[in-house]
């Protein structure tokens, strides 16, 4: 694959300079600013299938996929047609629609633990509502989360660990009060003992444990055998709820999400990304007993003007229908396996130590010799080496997440030729001046 034109960042630089005077940091979500890897973010003008194009007309093979939603590839004809058709009827009603019922039925049929679902407008909103629901249902206040698992920017979960797993959370962002953060307890992902310690310390105060069943926001870090099962047992023993944040994994690692893949049923599930077909959407759901706590049936209030937006519902319906086709997950599995095994072979040929994680079409390459099981392990990976890898891949037309600690996504639109081109590009990355 040839190097992109020398005008690669000309328009992006100009746009980024303008954006920084209008938008904080020049972006509407922090990771897009390239602060982690350095350089100027690429401004995207269009996307189709497995490819995106920047403002200079350069094409990239895309492994970000809008951070996960584009499992079918960008601008799938059936999804686009459905959105266009619905947009001609109006873009928002603020009233019930048959589309909400249709998507709700598809979701509850697919996700084992969800008997009822409420649609919202983002994954953050879904998680925020799920936490409120857990507290309302249990009458307790404290939440256990895992260091390195990101669940959106709601106040309760933007906290970091103190000196140990049993330390109360402290705010990880100005604007979050200590009172709110103190209700969140930090545990270590893949470490059941750290969770047991918290339940022993607060035996009657914990409303829920929230976890990414497959961590995706510190890179793809799968659960070790027995971890999810152990969480299920501990929460039942202590009359707390188990919340699976499947915003990334829902319909990505299996049609029924990680809970179907591992056969561990949470009490509450949050969804996003794929369930809206690439449009802004979130969802949370549970058994009828738990969901009947939600207004207007129950006392727990949650509302939203754009919840159940008809365009998002239609895009989600078409996406899930396409994902029901028999070949889909076999194809995603095969293509991603080919990519990951190829990346590993290239790294070995270069004598570059890596850890490659994959679950279904979710993957991450860590530049590390040590096993990766939690956030502490992730932080020890070679970030400098990743940054060099990232920029050389980008220069040759491979678009990866601009952070050493994010996941990659393969779509149904990626072809064997795309995989081959990616591996060829990696084989030409220069690591000579790296430690």
Q: Active-site positions?
A: 150, 245, 273
Spatial distance between the Cα atoms of 264 and 225, rounded to a whole number of angstroms: 12
Is 248 in contact with 212 (CB distance < 8 Å)? yes
Q: What is the DSSP letter of 254?
A: B
DSSP H or E stretch at residue 312: helix 310-323
Cα-based distances in Å from 247 to 13, 172, 273, 329, 355: 32, 22, 6, 18, 24
Three-point CA angle 196, 198, 201, nearest 5°: 110
User: Closest Cα partner for 381 from 401, 365, 359, 395?
Assistant: 365
- What is the C-alpha to C-alpha distance for residues 338 and 311, in angstroms, rounded to an integer? 35
Alpha-carbon distance 329 to 332, whole Å?
A: 5
Nearest C-alpha neighbor of 126 from the set 40, 30, 245? 245
């Amino acid at each position: 694959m040839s190097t992109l034109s020398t005008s690669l960042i000309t328009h992006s630089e100009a746009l980024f300079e303008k954006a920084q005077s209008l938008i904080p940091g020049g972006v509407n979500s922090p990771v897009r600013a390239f602060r982690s890897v350095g350089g100027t973010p690429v401004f995207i003008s269009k996307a189709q299938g497995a490819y995106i194009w920047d403002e200079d007309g350069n094409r990239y093979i895309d492994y970000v996929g809008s951070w996960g939603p584009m499992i079918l590839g960008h601008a799938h004809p059936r999804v686009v047609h459905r959105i266009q058709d619905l947009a001609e009827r109006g873009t928002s009603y603020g009233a019930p629609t048959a589309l909400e019922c249709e998507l709700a039925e598809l979701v509850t049929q697919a996700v084992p633990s969800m008997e009822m679902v409420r649609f919202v407008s983002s994954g953050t909103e879904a998680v925020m509502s799920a936490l409120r629901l857990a507290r309302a249902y249990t009458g307790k206040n404290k939440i256990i989360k895992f260091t390195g698992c990101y669940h959106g920017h709601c106040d309760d979960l933007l906290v970091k660990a103190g000196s140990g797993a049993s330390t109360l959370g402290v705010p990880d962002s100005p604007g979050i009060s200590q009172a709110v953060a103190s209700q969140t307890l930090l545990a270590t992902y893949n470490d059941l003992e750290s969770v047991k310690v918290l339940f022993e310390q607060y035996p009657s105060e914990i409303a829920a444990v929230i976890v990414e069943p497959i961590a995706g926001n510190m890179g793809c870090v799968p659960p070790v055998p027995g971890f999810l099962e152990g969480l299920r047992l501990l929460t039942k023993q202590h009359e707390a709820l188990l919340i699976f944040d499947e915003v990334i994994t829902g319909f990505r690692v299996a049609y029924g999400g990680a809970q179907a893949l591992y056969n561990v049923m949470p009490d509450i599930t949050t969804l996003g990304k794929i369930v809206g077909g690439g449009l802004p959407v979130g969802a949370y759901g549970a058994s009828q007993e738990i969901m009947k706590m939600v207004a207007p049936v129950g006392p727990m209030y949650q509302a939203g003007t754009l919840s159940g937006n008809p365009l998002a519902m239609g895009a989600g319906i078409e996406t899930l229908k396409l994902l029901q086709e028999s070949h889909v997950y076999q194809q995603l599995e095969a293509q991603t396996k080919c990519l990951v095994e190829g990346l590993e072979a290239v790294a070995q040929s270069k004598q570059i130590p890596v850890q490659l994680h994959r679950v279904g079409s979710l993957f991450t390459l860590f530049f590390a010799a040590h096993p990766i099981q939690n956030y502490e392990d992730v932080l020890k990976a070679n970030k400098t080496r990743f940054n060099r890898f990232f920029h050389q891949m980008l220069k040759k037309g491979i678009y990866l997440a601009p952070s050493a600690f994010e996941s990659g996504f393969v779509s149904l639109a990626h072809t064997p030729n795309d995989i081959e081109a990616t591996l060829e590009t990696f084989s030409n990355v220069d690591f000579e001046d790296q430690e």
